[in-house]
Amino acid sequence: MAGAPSARESLDASLGTVRPPQERLRRPPKTRAVLTRPEQAPKVRDGEGSDRPQRRLTGREVEEHALQKCWRRHEAGGVPLSCRSPPDRQRSASLQASYDRCAKVTAEYAKTFYLGTSLMTPEKARATWAIYVWCRRTDELVDGPNASRMTPQALDRWEERLEALFEGRPADILDAALTDTIDRFPLDIQPFRDMIGGMRMDLVKSRYQTFDELYEYCYRVAGAVGLMTSPVMGIDPEYKGPLEPVYRAALALGTANQLTNILRDVGEDSLQRNRIYLPTEELDQFGIREQELLRGGLFASTNGRIDDRWRAFMKFQIKRARQFFVTAEEGVHALDADARWPVWSALNLYRQILDAIEENDYNNFTQRAYVRRWKKLLALPVSFGQAKFPKQAPFGHK
């Protein structure tokens, strides 16, 4: 993972391309998004009467709040700002170095992702890597080497730093790339804040009773990435339908990826981190006790193979994850042509992890599911064909 945010790299004083507010590209008027800290979480009224009490958004409401903000900002932004951005030769050396650092970090820690996004235009690839690096550094706060010293107050400071970044005041050389990306594409701050909210959940929550609880976590740490990157991917000029379903498909892909991560890492999360990212009520439905996970997995006493209860449970979980991948598929064809191949590649490669879990006889306690290199390479031309020759118009719109 990227270096911990506390080890900040100084931003060169000559970084003149992080433009002051009056010189930044015009975007829709910025509305201050609601903070994800508990005392400032988004609220809705329980009824139409003005005297009704307000309540904080929970579960899927959190996702819906961000979804509406993001697709509306994208729609109001019109033509992608990247179309009006200066070419590489007009970038300052310092800003170019910032993007280069983001590319290096992405290539080192997310090889498959880097390979897929390299298929996009250089402008979109750089912007995607800038977003990835911010997400990775955010994740490092609770899963990195300094995680044991992380506090809610530190996450508050990270959120304040995010606000400054969106206001054109990056703290270091890596943040500078994202600030520039915000100038070039109609990004909204809400999914970034929601991801920090996911880190807050990791500080205080290691069990999830229902799937709705888990769904909120999946949105915050992964689905939010779909909302962050959709404005960068861009929309096919030939697509005449509404933006909202395209964004919902992006959310579905993020959720599918996170559910896949959870199923792949069950053993690692439970044994090394004492975290169970599986709905406890669903474990109960299959007759599985928490302690069975924490002591090393469910294996039959007679032959040492995976217990039938766990096999049935995993089949149920994998089926649900695949349904999210199917939901995501239709939205890919509404994206700009240069973004479809990398997105299809990511979708297919992640979906193959579920296949690998099945090939391991659902043993995700002592065996790690991974996609062999030859399968990854084979997926690329398949994904290219899917991107180039869609079976149908997205969401029924030509």
In this predicted structure, what is the pLDDT of residue 9? 34
Domain boundaries, the chain: 57-81+191-398, 92-184
Residue 239 has pLDDT above 60, yes or no: yes
The pLDDT value recorded for residue 13 is 29
What's the confidence (pLDDT) of residue 233? 94
CA 197 to chain centroid, in Å, comes to 13
Number of neighbouring beta carbons within 10 Å of residue 231: 26
Write the pLDDT tens digit of every residue in 164-175: 999 999 999 999
Write the pLDDT tens digit of every residue in 125-172: 999 999 999 999 999 999 888 888 889 999 999 999 999 999 999 999
The band of 82, judged by pLDDT with boundaries at 50, 70 and 90, is very low
Question: Please, what is the average pLDDT of the chain?
Answer: 83
Q: What is the pLDDT of residue 41?
A: 52
pLDDT reported for residue 91: 61
Q: For residue 119, what pLDDT is reported?
A: 82
Judge contact between 155 and 203, C-beta under 8 A: yes
pLDDT of 23 higher than 70: no
Both tokens assigned to 118: 């390299």
Q: Give the model's confidence band at 225: pLDDT under 50 very low, under 70 low, under 90 confident, else very high.
A: very high
Per-residue pLDDT of 101-127, as tens digits, reads: 999 999 999 887 887 788 889 999 999
SS3 at position 13: coil
The b/e string for 114-148 (b: 16+ C-beta within 10 A; e otherwise) is: bbbbebbeebbbbbbbbbbbbbbbbbbbbebeebe
pLDDT at 47 over 50: no
Average pLDDT of span 201-227 = 95
In tens, the pLDDT along 308-340 reads 999 999 999 999 999 999 999 989 999 999 899
pLDDT of residue 380: 85
In sequence order, what are the residues at sequence separation of 6 or more whose Cβ sits closer than 8 angstroms to the Cβ of residue 52? 45, 46
Best mean pLDDT range from 90-94, 236-240, 311-315, 348-352: 311-315
Exposure string for 350-376, b = 16+ CB within 10 A, e = fewer: bbbbbebbeebebbbbeeebebeeeeb
The CATH superfamily assigned to 57-81+191-398 is Farnesyl Diphosphate Synthase (1.10.600.10)
Helix ranges (H only) for 190-336 are: 190-204, 211-218, 224-233, 244-264, 266-273, 280-285, 290-294, 308-332
Q: Is the pLDDT of residue 16 over 60?
A: no
The predicted structure's pLDDT at residue 77: 75
Confidence of residue 78 (pLDDT cuts 50, 70, 90): low
Q: Give the pLDDT of residue 303.
A: 80
**Range in 26-40, 46-60, 135-149, 309-323 the model is least confident about:** 26-40
Residue 242 is predicted with a pLDDT of 93
